[in-house]
Amino acid sequence: MPYRFEFRPYRRPFQRPLQTSHGTWVFREGIILRLTGSAGQVGFGEIAPLSWFGSETFEQALDFCRQLPAEIAEATIFSIPPALPACQFAFESARETLTGNPPIPKSRHPTLNPLTYSALLPAGEAALSAWQPLWQQGYRTFKWKIAVAPAPEELQIFHRLNQTLPAPAKLRLDANGGLPWEDANQWLQACDSCGAVEYLEQPLPVDRFDAMLELSNRYSTHLALDESVATLAQMQDCFLKGWRGIFVIKPAIAGSPSQLRRFCRQHDIDAVFSSVFETAIGRQAALRLSAELSRHNRAAGFGVSHWFGEDDEIWLENLWPTY
């Protein structure tokens, strides 16, 4: 059965630029797509690429959409090449929404329970005060980007943050692959002795897999891979090479949701699901996967709506009034 296919590119500014060790991020660019079935049923999907993370670029995704006809076959959705993982996610999740297979929870806009999400703090000293309003909103897991400033400076802020955060709070550190070996060891020593760190994410660059495996054996603080496991092919590779720590999965760029389900279930992966600053459309599809596949009650990394100025739903309705 063919689907009618429409798409709209978008460009959305962050309320303030987002700093990571990959650089500063000012706009989120993506594409919203809509599939319509022969009986008029619709499903939305979102392409939210993150090319510095290993997905296709926004332009490549746009080229892909532009060369598709206005009517596409079911087979087209399942034959999108692995080089376009954000497109695979968007088309398959739009189809899932349209067909209700697998079943979609009744509430179209489920209330976000902050307890089940981790909230992203700004890098550097700003974190010391930014956690408080988020705590009041109910967040108990916080994520803080490190490897943005020199380690001694950040370690000092880390100790202060630990002293100010109330005891039930959990802290996740994310180095985005930006730590040298010596610094990574220093950080893990600090984490082991404070005990409030849920995990350290991607301490070393992607090409230093063996060194990260070594760190995971050396310290008791959990390690998570993120940049190393951006796509399903990379997840499979790291698993084969012996990684049994946490996998941070960004469904929007991981590729085909049906293949992702198969991989996580087959290997009983300890996964944390995470946002790539997609809109509510991509987020809902990603959260469905998180609800299906998370273990250990790990908070999902979707506490990011405070990084955009406008309300998500209003913004989407402006982009696509029938949404």
The least CB distance from residue 248 to Mg ion, in Å, is 6
Phi, psi of 154 (to 5 degrees): -70, -35
Rank residues 97 and 228 by Cβ distance to Mg ion and give the closer one. Answer: 228
The least CB distance from residue 201 to Mg ion, in Å, is 5
# chain residues binding Mg ion, by CB under 5 A? 3
Kindly state whether residue 198 participates in binding Mg ion, applying the rule CB under 5 A: no
Kindly state whether residue 201 participates in binding Mg ion, applying the rule CB under 5 A: yes
Query: Which 65-124 residues touch Mg ion, going by CB under 5 A?
Result: none
The least CB distance from residue 49 to Mg ion, in Å, is 16
CA distance 273 to 27: 22
Rank residues 8 and 22 by Cβ distance to Mg ion and give the closer one. Answer: 22
CA distance 145 to 201: 9
Give the list of residues 6+ apart from residue 67 with CB closer than 8 angstroms, or none: none
| Binding flags for Mg ion, 124-163, as an x/- string (CB under 5 A) | ----------------------------------------
CA distance 127 to 124: 6
Active site residue 170: no
The least CB distance from residue 53 to Mg ion, in Å, is 9
The least CB distance from residue 145 to Mg ion, in Å, is 8
Interacting span for Mg ion (CB under 5 A) from 133-141, 169-177, 183-191, 265-273: 169-177
Catalytic residue chosen out of the listed positions 106, 170, 241, 250: 250
Query: Which 224-263 residues touch Mg ion, going by CB under 5 A?
Result: 226
Handedness of CA 84, 85, 86, 88 (dihedral sign): positive
Rank residues 4 and 208 by Cβ distance to Mg ion and give the closer one. Answer: 208
The least CB distance from residue 57 to Mg ion, in Å, is 19
Query: Which 208-227 residues touch Mg ion, going by CB under 5 A?
Result: 226
Catalytic residue chosen out of the listed positions 106, 145, 170, 241: 145
Rank residues 80 and 119 by Cβ distance to Mg ion and give the closer one. Answer: 119
Distances, alpha carbon 215 to alpha carbons 152, 206, 236, 300, in Å:
20, 14, 20, 24
Taking CB under 5 A as the criterion, the residue among 46, 56, 92, 174 binding Mg ion is 174
Active site residue 241: no
What residue has token string 């609800």? Answer: 291
The least CB distance from residue 318 to Mg ion, in Å, is 30
Q: Is 123 helix (H, G, I), strand (E, B) or coil?
A: coil
CA distance 88 to 117: 25
What residue has token string 């991607």? Answer: 202
Rank residues 22 and 244 by Cβ distance to Mg ion and give the closer one. Answer: 22
Interacting span for Mg ion (CB under 5 A) from 55-63, 71-79, 200-208, 214-222: 200-208
Rank residues 97 and 118 by Cβ distance to Mg ion and give the closer one. Answer: 118
Q: Is 180 helix (H, G, I), strand (E, B) or coil?
A: coil
Q: Describe the crossing of helices 280-293 and 85-99 by its angle, rounded to 10 degrees.
A: 80
CA distance 71 to 139: 43
> What tokens does 223 get?
């390690």
CA distance 180 to 158: 18
Report CA 186 to chain centroid distance, whole Å. 27
Rank residues 95 and 145 by Cβ distance to Mg ion and give the closer one. Answer: 145
CA distance 288 to 257: 10
Q: Describe the crossing of helices 85-99 and 257-267 by its angle, rounded to 10 degrees.
A: 90
Q: Please identify every residue annotated as catalytic.
A: 145, 250
Q: Provide the binding-site residues for Mg ion, judged by CB under 5 A.
A: 174, 201, 226
